[in-house]
């Protein structure tokens, strides 16, 4: 690895691998042209060792793609049993949904609950079990409307190719085996039973990465304000838990070397407790890989591609990786700033950098999302997160600290903020070429941040380009 780092920048290799990834999984002519031009640049700079590495990744991506096609084609025509994955259970009114597995395949399952007793059973279920049923095995629906959710694409990214609509459950067999899925489910059920709503929703969301379906109304409000990503467990939460874990062990007298060793299994445990979300895995890899910022994000990206090859096909995977990359890039340009000015500048530039990707994925723009992210981000990460963790832990000692009024006030405040801002600008989806141009312009802007004249010229050009996108 050291030899490779001497020969060429690791971040440049990762950039080429990402381009190669999208060329294989989502063929696009502008991306292919950009990839070819980037390869020519690599050869011009004599980065010859990149070529065999790219060939290896190309073979790997083609293999993953072919296996995905094969698994999709080799799905069973009917199924009568399924093993329920407990920490995926969602109960919304009389609708039950969960993920299950059988014969090495995963499925998305839906059922209509027949009674309050049955509803209570699944709401409190925290064990592995196998269901015998009659029902229909179907292909998930694709995107129907503009900016609508593509259920098939989302499930395929999780290696789920069929969904099951249950007509009748004939038998429920409780399994005695224990795993981290059941532990996470026990924590979620404990929270839902010991804390009132909406406090319990914020606790399961921020501590375990689980939002119940009956939180959808508030989720829509947070989405319209452009701050729904605050519920996605990310670097801030990971840093919070890892840093406190290290402080406790150091206070107990353990050496830093032993703490570093213990930190790895704790990171794996924490990843399972948060549902193995891509954003958490990305943050944990970055926390445990001790390299320079750009080499760190490069290695993290390559490792994620190997252990979860389809993560970049999801909007969440793209956003978490791009956020991390931009943050790594911003370390140097703003090193001369400090205090509030640095926080505001970095947050504003970060929001500007990810704006093209947000518009490409969601086709909307909330102008005040930058300011709202700064305000609510501080509130969530520095106040609510430690408060909820303390409430959760002391509940095991028999103390129930009911702070529901704080979250009722928060939701009232969010609702009042949302009233005049509920309808963001709806933009036309940029083409791949327009997306590339926007990224290039913003990259030039960040690179020339210290040059005032060039900076103002580029920011003006960027907004002119944004205004050329069709507003609906």
pLDDT tens-digit readout, 270-295:
888 888 888 888 888 888 888 888 88
Residues 6 and 23 in one domain: yes
Phi, psi for residue 107 in degrees, rounded to 5 = -140, 150
Nearest alpha carbon to residue 305 among 20, 31, 107, 33: 20
Q: How many domains does the chain have?
A: 3
Average pLDDT of the residues of the chain: 82
Residues 9 and 90 in one domain: no
Q: What is the mean pLDDT of residues 118-130?
A: 92
CA 392 and chain centroid, separation: 24
Residues 103 and 66 in one domain: no
Between the alpha carbon of residue 295 and those of residues 35, 292, 299, 439, the distances in Å are 21, 5, 6, 21
CA 375 and chain centroid, separation: 21
Phi, psi for residue 308 in degrees, rounded to 5 = -140, 75
Residues 414 and 289 in one domain: yes
Q: What is the pLDDT of residue 337?
A: 62
Last residue of a domain, one of 111, 144, 178: 178
Per-residue pLDDT at 464 exceeds 70: no
Residues 305 and 386 in one domain: yes
103, burial (CB in 10 Å: exposed 0-12, middle 13-18, buried 19+): exposed
Given a contact cutoff of 8 angstroms between Cβ atoms, the answer to whether 102 and 79 are in contact is yes
Positive or negative, the CA dihedral 88, 66, 39, 429 is negative
Residues 312 and 421 in one domain: yes
193 in a domain, yes or no? no
221 in a domain, yes or no? no
Q: What is the mean pLDDT of residues 230-247?
A: 76
326 in a domain, yes or no? yes
Residues 248 and 348 in one domain: yes
Q: What is the CATH number of the domain that holds 136?
A: 2.40.50
Domain range for 61: 2-73
Residues 65 and 106 in one domain: no
Query: Per DSSP, which regions of 276-366 are E strands?
Result: 364-365
Per-residue pLDDT at 122 exceeds 50: yes
337 in a domain, yes or no? yes
Residues 134 and 266 in one domain: no
Nearest alpha carbon to residue 17 among 290, 285, 309: 309
Degrees (nearest 5) of the Cα angle 81, 83, 86? 145
Given a contact cutoff of 8 angstroms between Cβ atoms, the answer to whether 216 and 93 are in contact is no
Residues 260 and 158 in one domain: no
Q: What is the pLDDT of residue 472?
A: 44
Q: What is the pLDDT of residue 226?
A: 72
196 in a domain, yes or no? no
Q: What is the pLDDT of residue 259?
A: 87
Interval 204-214: pLDDT, tens: 988 888 888 87
Last residue of a domain, one of 30, 52, 73: 73
Residues 358 and 421 in one domain: yes
Last residue of a domain, one of 136, 160, 178: 178
242 in a domain, yes or no? yes
210 in a domain, yes or no? no
* Range scoring the smallest mean pLDDT among 275-289, 391-405, 426-440: 426-440
Given a contact cutoff of 8 angstroms between Cβ atoms, the answer to whether 195 and 404 are in contact is yes
130 in a domain, yes or no? yes
Residues 166 and 43 in one domain: no
């Amino acid at each position: 690895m050291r030899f490779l780092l001497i020969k060429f920048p690791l971040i440049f290799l990762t950039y080429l691998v990402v381009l190669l990834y999208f060329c294989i999984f989502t063929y696009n002519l502008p991306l292919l042209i950009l990839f070819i031009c980037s390869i020519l640049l690599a050869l011009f700079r004599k980065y010859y060792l990149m070529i065999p590495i790219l060939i290896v990744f190309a073979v790997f991506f083609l293999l993953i793609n072919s296996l995905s096609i094969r698994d999709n084609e080799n799905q069973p025509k009917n199924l009568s049993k399924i093993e329920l994955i407990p920490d995926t259970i969602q109960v919304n009114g009389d609708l039950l949904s969960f993920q299950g597995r059988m014969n090495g395949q995963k499925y998305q399952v839906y059922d209509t609950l027949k009674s309050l007793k049955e509803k209570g059973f699944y709401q409190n279920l925290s064990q592995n079990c196998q269901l015998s049923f009659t029902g229909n095995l179907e292909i998930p629906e694709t995107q129907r409307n503009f900016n609508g959710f593509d259920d098939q694409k989302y499930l395929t990214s999780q290696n789920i190719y069929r969904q099951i609509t249950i007509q009748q459950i004939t038998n429920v067999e409780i399994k005695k085996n224990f795993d981290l899925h059941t532990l996470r489910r026990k924590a979620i059920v404990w929270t839902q039973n010991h804390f009132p709503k909406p406090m319990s929703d914020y606790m399961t969301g921020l501590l375990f990465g689980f939002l119940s379906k009956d939180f959808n109304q508030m989720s829509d409000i947070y989405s319209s304000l452009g701050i729904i990503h605050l519920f996605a467990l990310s670097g801030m939460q990971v840093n919070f838990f890892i840093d406190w874990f290290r402080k406790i062990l150091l206070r107990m007298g353990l050496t830093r070397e032993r703490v570093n060793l213990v930190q790895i299994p704790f990171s794996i445990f924490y990843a399972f407790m948060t549902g193995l979300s891509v954003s958490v895995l990305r943050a944990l890899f970055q926390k445990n890989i001790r390299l320079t910022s750009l080499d760190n994000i490069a290695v993290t990206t390559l490792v994620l591609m190997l252990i979860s090859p389809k993560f970049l096909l999801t909007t969440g995977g793209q956003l978490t990786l791009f956020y991390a990359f931009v943050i790594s890039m911003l370390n140097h340009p703003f090193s001369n700033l400090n205090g509030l000015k640095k926080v505001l500048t970095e947050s504003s530039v970060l929001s500007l950098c990810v704006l093209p990707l947000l518009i490409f994925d969601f086709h909307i723009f909330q102008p005040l999302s930058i300011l709202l992210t700064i305000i609510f981000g501080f509130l969530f990460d520095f106040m609510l997160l430690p408060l909820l963790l303390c409430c959760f832990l002391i509940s095991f000692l028999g103390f129930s600290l009911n702070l529901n009024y704080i979250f009722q006030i928060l939701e009232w405040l969010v609702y009042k903020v949302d009233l005049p801002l509920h309808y963001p600008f709806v933009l036309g989806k940029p083409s791949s070429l327009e997306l590339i141009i926007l990224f290039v312009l913003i990259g030039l802007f960040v690179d020339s941040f210290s040059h005032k004249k060039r900076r103002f010229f580029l920011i003006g050009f960027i907004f002119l380009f944004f205004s050329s996108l069709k507003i609906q």
